[in-house]
Amino acid sequence: MTEGKKKIALVTGANSGIGLELTKKLIAGEWEVVALIRSGFPVEERELQQKIQQRVIRIYRTDLSDFTKLKFALEKIKEQEPKLDALFNNAGGSFPELLFSPQGRELHYEVQTVVPYIITMEMLGLLKKGSLGMVIQTSSDAFKFRKTFVPEELAKPKKFQKLTGPYTSTKLAITLWTHALAPKLKKEGITIVSVDPGNNNTMRKGKNGGLPLLIQPFIRFFGPHPRVGAGRLFAGLEKSPEEAGLYFSKGKPTEYKFKQHASQVLFQVRTVYKKEFISL
């Protein structure tokens, strides 16, 4: 492969958990990785540190929850990268309490639902220059336990529950807008899908994030290694345009509830993008 022929993927949250394993998988497959991250790659990952030196991995640092910082990083990517063959909107996680972004929206919603839309829109030009035109959203099957879903409450939830609250509603929300936006992107040569990576053990020492106490031992002892989830996301690269907009769980297209709200969620994230982000 000559340098210009290598495929390039943008991965958010590329330096830890599933994102880290996905980065390794992409590198092993002769891809280059554009890492949109807040902190650095682990120093003990010698091979990845070497790839950073060789610019096979190119780091763009930002705080995804802060639109001003995000805009600066995305502008740099557009200036410096020749193309993108794939975009993995992977960053996120379960927070332990009700938190808000600098823009005033609930943090899970901003990072896991709104920001992936912004990044997708901002990277369309580079994706159209690439050969694959794939956008893969990290979803979660945890949302299947939701009894209710109110799009208008995503930005300001009335109550907070670890894992089963804003985390699941915002993972459902990204899956919904993916479904709603897919036909339009397909016409532009872009295939977008959402993928559940499964309940991987991404717990870090001294950090349980927003996992309820009852679930922590189960994830710690029985949760598969993050490379399992990374494999499922990586497999998303093989989805065809006919599968655009679908949600994949355990590698299979899977149905889910609340699809009637898909266009409403898309309207909400599009409005934030147009009224707040573009005008920055």
Question: What is the tens place of the pLDDT at every residue in 154-180?
Answer: 999 998 887 778 999 999 999 999 999
Enter the pTM of the model. Answer: 0.91
Mean pLDDT score, 178-206: 85
pLDDT over threshold 50, residue 218: no
- Cα 213 to Cα 218: distance, rounded to the nearest angstrom: 10
Across 218-253, b (16+ Cβ under 10 Å) vs e yields ebeeebeebebbbbbbbebbebeeeebbbbbbeeee
Question: What's the pLDDT at 205?
Answer: 47
What does the pLDDT look like over 237-255, one tens digit per residue?
999 999 999 999 999 999 9
- Cα 233 to Cα 9: distance, rounded to the nearest angstrom: 12
Nearest residue to 207 (alpha-carbon basis) of 50, 32, 16 = 16
pLDDT over threshold 60, residue 279: yes
- Cα 22 to Cα 175: distance, rounded to the nearest angstrom: 20
Question: What's the pLDDT at 2?
Answer: 37
Banded model confidence at residue 219, pLDDT cuts 50, 70, 90: very low
Say which range, 2-6, 98-102, 185-189, has the weakest mean pLDDT. 2-6
pLDDT over threshold 90, residue 225: no
Alpha-carbon distance values, 257 to 76, 245, 260 (Å)? 38, 15, 8
CATH number of the CATH domain containing 104: 3.40.50.720
Percent residues over pLDDT 90 in the chain:
83
What does the pLDDT look like over 72-109, one tens digit per residue?
999 999 999 999 999 999 999 888 899 999 999 999 99
- Per the document, the length of the chain is 280
Question: What's the pLDDT at 210?
Answer: 57
Residue 124 has phi, psi (to 5 degrees) of: -55, -40
Domains of the chain: total:
1
Banded model confidence at residue 200, pLDDT cuts 50, 70, 90: low
Mean pLDDT score, 37-54: 96
Mean pLDDT score, 29-53: 97
Structural domain including 12 reads 3-277
What does the pLDDT look like over 108-151, one tens digit per residue?
999 999 999 999 999 999 999 999 999 999 999 989 989 999 99
CB atoms inside a 10 Å sphere around CB 197: 27
Query: How wide is the angle at C-alpha 126 spanned by C-alphas 122 and 129, nearest 5°?
Result: 150
Mean pLDDT score, 6-14: 97
The letter for the amino acid at 8 is I
Question: What's the pLDDT at 5?
Answer: 82
49 SS3 class: helix
Mind giving me the DSSP string for 175-203? Answer: HHHHHHHHHHHHHTT-EEEEEE--S----
pLDDT over threshold 60, residue 271: yes
Nearest residue to 130 (alpha-carbon basis) of 37, 239, 4 = 4
Hey, what's the torsion of the CAs at 58, 63, 68, 69, to 10 degrees?
-30
- Cα 243 to Cα 114: distance, rounded to the nearest angstrom: 23
- Cα 46 to Cα 262: distance, rounded to the nearest angstrom: 43
**Contact status, residue 232 vs residue 24, Cβ threshold 8 Å:** no
172 SS3 class: helix
Say which range, 29-43, 82-96, 216-230, 264-278, has the weakest mean pLDDT. 216-230
Banded model confidence at residue 207, pLDDT cuts 50, 70, 90: very low
Computed over every residue of the chain, the mean pLDDT equals: 91
**Contact status, residue 102 vs residue 65, Cβ threshold 8 Å:** yes
CB atoms inside a 10 Å sphere around CB 89: 29
Q: Cα 32 to the chain's mean position, in Å? A: 18
